[in-house]
């Protein structure tokens, strides 16, 4: 069994409720979306990274974890669920070696998620707004959210282009499909658009961000603002 891997490294989780937790990050190659705010555009091509067999990846994870406590392996990308067949034995191996499995996903591949769901300790699901992707994924998100369990969370990256209508749809989906899970608002880190058109992606202005928070809190019990801290810390 082999898969496409971009890099393996140790760092602190910079997003969501696990903020500051040391993890081994396995960045897999290939993504099925093109979000304008993507901070890892080199992982987007389906043939990004290089082909690793399972033994090479296991060694890299153990090497990265050496010397410090790492509670979990973060399977990230790209979109890890494009390689669900490769993930299953790797996540089984991670459990046997005392790691929890932390899966970062764009939440549009529910059938692939079902293949790894039993092995996933934390699913970090990124709801995608049409203003960021150029396409609507509400139907796929609506199928994905009911598969989540306690301990998982949902994140939305918000840019200057994010609209009130889009946010209303996020809140409706969460209220209907996953009302008890944390909803994380993540202001985008200013960056050149991954679409290569020369434009800059900017974070949602503070006043609109707070309006989004308040509207979500009318329907949901756990709504938080968590910036992308690893960029602030200067970490990978």
The dihedral region occupied by 202, where left means phi > 0, alpha psi between -120 and 50, and beta the remainder, is beta
Average pLDDT over residues 175-193: 96
**Per-residue model confidence as pLDDT tens digits over 66-76:** 999 999 999 99
What's the CA gap between 165 and 52, in Å, rounded?
43
**Per-residue model confidence as pLDDT tens digits over 136-151:** 999 999 999 999 999 9
Residue in 26, 21, 12 with CA at minimum distance from that of residue 90: 26
What's the CA gap between 75 and 57, in Å, rounded?
12
- Beta-bridge partner residues of 8: 26
C-alpha distances in Å from residue 116, one per residue of 26, 28, 63, 99:
16, 15, 24, 15
Fold of the 2-233 domain: TIM Barrel (3.20.20)
What's the CA gap between 110 and 8, in Å, rounded?
25
What is the share, in percent, of the chain residues with pLDDT greater than 90? 92
What is the pTM assigned to this prediction?
A: 0.95
Confidence at 39, pLDDT banded by 50, 70, 90: confident
Confidence at 177, pLDDT banded by 50, 70, 90: very high
Indicate the average pLDDT of the chain. 96
Domain ranges of the chain: 2-233
**Token digits of residue 126:** 């990124």
Which DSSP letter does residue 204 get?
P
Query: Is pLDDT at 204 greater than 80 in this prediction?
Result: yes
**Per-residue model confidence as pLDDT tens digits over 119-130:** 999 999 999 999
């Amino acid at each position: 069994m082999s898969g496409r891997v971009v890099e393996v490294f140790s760092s602190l989780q910079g997003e969501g409720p696990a903020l500051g937790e040391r993890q081994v990050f396995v960045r897999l190659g290939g993504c099925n979306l093109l979000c304008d705010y993507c901070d890892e555009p080199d992982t987007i091509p389906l043939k990004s990274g290089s082909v690793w067999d399972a033994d090479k990846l296991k060694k890299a994870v153990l090497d990265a974890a050496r010397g410090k406590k790492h509670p979990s392996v973060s399977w990230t990308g790209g979109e890890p669920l494009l390689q669900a067949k490769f993930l299953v034995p790797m996540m089984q191996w991670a459990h046997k070696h005392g790691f929890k499995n932390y899966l970062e996903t764009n939440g549009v591949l529910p059938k692939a998620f079902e293949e790894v769901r039993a092995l996933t300790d934390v699913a970090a699901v990124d709801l995608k707004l049409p203003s960021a992707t150029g396409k609507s994924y509400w139907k796929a998100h609506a199928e994905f959210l009911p598969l989540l369990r306690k301990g998982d969370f949902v994140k939305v990256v918000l840019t200057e282009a994010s609209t009130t209508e889009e946010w209303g749809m996020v809140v409706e989906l969460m209220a209907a499909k996953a009302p008890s899970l944390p909803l994380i608002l993540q202001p985008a880190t200013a960056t050149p658009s991954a679409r290569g058109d020369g434009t800059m992606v900017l974070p949602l202005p503070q006043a609109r961000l707070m309006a989004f928070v308040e509207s979500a809190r009318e329907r949901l019990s756990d709504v938080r603002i968590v910036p992308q801290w690893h960029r602030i810390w200067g970490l990978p």
